[in-house]
Amino acid sequence: MTEQKATNITWHEHIVSTAELEKLHGHKGMTIWFTGLSASGKSTVANAVAAALHGMKVSTFVLDGDNIRQGLNKNLGFSAADREENIRRIGEVAKLFTQAAVVNLTAFISPYRADRDKARALQPETFIEVYCDPGIAVCEQRDPKGLYKKARAGELKGFTGVDDPYEAPTSPEFVLDTGGLTVGECAHAVIDLLKKRGVIG
**Averaged over 129-140, what is the pLDDT?**
97
Give the global pTM.
Answer: 0.93
Query: pLDDT over 70 for what percent of the chain?
Result: 99
**8 in any annotated domain:** no
Q: Is residue 109 part of a domain?
A: yes
Number of domains in the chain: 1
Q: Is 110 a catalytic residue?
A: yes
| HEC sequence for 134-198 | CCHHHHHHHCCCCHHHHHHCCCCCCCECCCECCCCCCCCCEEECCCCCCHHHHHHHHHHHHHHCC
What separation, in Å, do the N-terminal and C-terminal C-alpha atoms of the chain show?
A: 40
pLDDT at residue 7, rounded to an integer: 84
Query: Measured between alpha carbons, how far is residue 141 from residues 8, 39, 103, 162 in Å?
Result: 53, 9, 31, 14
With cut-offs at 50, 70 and 90, classify the pLDDT of residue 146.
very high
Sign for the CA dihedral angle at 1, 98, 63, 41 comes to: positive
- The phi-psi region of residue 174 (left if phi > 0; otherwise alpha if psi is between -120 and 50; otherwise beta) is beta
Residue 130 belongs to some domain of the structure: yes
- Average pLDDT over the chain, rounded to an integer: 95
| Rounded-to-integer distance, Cα 65 and Cα 68, Å | 5
pLDDT computed for residue 4 by the predictor? 74
Check residue 125 and give its pLDDT.
Answer: 96
- The catalytic residue among 17, 38, 110, 171 is 110
- Tell me whether residue 120 is in a domain: yes
Mapped onto helix, strand or coil, the DSSP state of residue 108 is: coil
Q: Would the pLDDT of 1 be above 60?
A: no
Phi, psi (rounded to 5 degrees) for 56? -95, 10
> Which pLDDT tens digit goes with each residue over 27-53?
999 999 999 999 999 999 999 999 999
State pLDDT tens for residues 70-126. 999 999 999 989 999 999 999 999 999 999 999 999 999 999 999 999 999 999 999
Does 201 reside within a domain?
A: no
Residue-number span of the structural domain to which 50 is assigned: 18-196
Question: Other CB atoms closer than 10 Å to residue 21's CB: what's the count?
Answer: 17
- Residue 13 in any domain: the answer is no
Q: Band the pLDDT of 9: cuts 50, 70, 90.
A: confident
Instruction: Place 151 in a pLDDT band, splitting at 50, 70 and 90.
Output: very high
Spatial neighbors of 135 by CB under 8 A, at least 6 apart, are: 179
The CATH number of the domain holding residue 188 is 3.40.50.300
